[in-house]
Amino acid sequence: MKIKNRITDLFKIEYPIIQAGMVWVSGYKLATAVSNCGGLGLIGSGSMKPELLREHIQKAKSKTTKPFGVNIPLLRGDAEELIKVVIEEKVKIVFTSAGHPGKYIDILKRNDIKVVHVVPSVKYAKKAEEVGCDAIVGEGYEAGGHNGFDEITTFCLIPALVESVKIPVIAAGGIATGAQIAAAFALGAEGVQIGTRFAATTESSAHENYKQKIVEAQDNGTIIGFRKIGLVRMLKNNFALRAIEAENSCADEKKLREIWGEKRERLGIFEGDIEEGALEAGQSAGLIKNILPVEEVFQRLIIEFDQTIKKMSSLI
């Protein structure tokens, strides 16, 4: 993999492979392991209070001299405080998701921060470009966790984004192998963001039980639940199937919020309750066969990518 493009330039990284910010999964350990391999690691602030985020950033700085970033879900009530921490700690890359970046873009750009927004459709991609984002992540329906209402899949979303905006597009949703990275580039992406594959690594801070459930999942191992209150893709378990059953029996929004309850992600991903927690994961779980150190995942991705490109070169 010898790629020098707008994404490697933007982040000053060796490989255009980005590890997604994931709640309870991507602390400084995972993020720095990815950055040290030449990719871009992201600390996922979704499960952190501002002071814990500060701690993770400081630890990350002690573990790597390479670039890393922070993912901030903008719907968080304290998003502004998280952004304040990022600025104070001089992190220069921020990925925003779940909300509109327009509100914070000025302060981020004034502090010389590269801003990338995660979008599920062309409409939001254009908005992100308009307000001045440096790049977008196009996240397909196969992605784990919170998901877009339009259900546009990676295979159709990426080409649509590439023809609609001028800023570079990073493909996300369903990517766990080097062959899939090659496919994403064929679709016009200039980088990939990978979640679930990195969640099932040694350095991921998730519970061992959760990692093991990813490894055991088959192609049909995930399901989308809670359509009425915001789609969530998760591994099938008692909790997920109970939610689906309630939806099929026409549970209203209030009932669904009750079923979701509180701290479901923490319960499943961090505490390892594999039946009652929300085990957010992408459809790529079906392609993940083992828990590996980040370095080995990274090497495999690059070898598979190279093999795929070599094989494809003979097709014309």
Summarize as ranges the residues that interact with its own copies (CB under 8 A): 1-3, 121-123, 140-142, 150-157, 159-160, 173-175, 177, 179-180, 182-188, 218-220, 224, 228, 248-250, 282-284, 286-287, 305-306, 308-310, 312-313, 315-316
Name the residue nearer to its own copies (CB basis): 51 or 150. Answer: 150
In the complex, least distance from residue 304 CB atom to its own copies, rounded to whole angstroms: 10
In the complex, least distance from residue 156 CB atom to its own copies, rounded to whole angstroms: 4
From 23, 39, 9, 10, select the one nearest 181 (Cα to Cα): 39
In the complex, least distance from residue 101 CB atom to its own copies, rounded to whole angstroms: 20
Name the residue nearer to its own copies (CB basis): 94 or 136. Answer: 136
Neighbours of 8 (CB within 10 A): 18
Tell me the C-alpha to C-alpha distance, in Å, between residue 102 and each of 45, 93, 98, 172: 19, 16, 12, 22
In the complex, least distance from residue 92 CB atom to its own copies, rounded to whole angstroms: 26
In the complex, least distance from residue 5 CB atom to its own copies, rounded to whole angstroms: 9
In the complex, least distance from residue 74 CB atom to its own copies, rounded to whole angstroms: 21
Name the residue nearer to its own copies (CB basis): 60 or 192. Answer: 192
Amino acid letter for position 258: E
Name the residue nearer to its own copies (CB basis): 23 or 251. Answer: 251
Cβ-defined contacts of 303-310 (< 8 Å, 24+)? 303/178, 304/177, 304/178, 304/179, 304/181, 305/1, 305/178, 305/179, 305/181, 305/182, 306/1, 306/178, 307/178, 307/179, 308/178, 308/179, 308/182, 309/182
* Residue 238 φ/ψ region, left for φ over 0, alpha for ψ in the -120 to 50 degree band, beta for the rest: alpha
In the complex, least distance from residue 164 CB atom to its own copies, rounded to whole angstroms: 8
Name the residue nearer to its own copies (CB basis): 263 or 310. Answer: 310
In the complex, least distance from residue 152 CB atom to its own copies, rounded to whole angstroms: 5
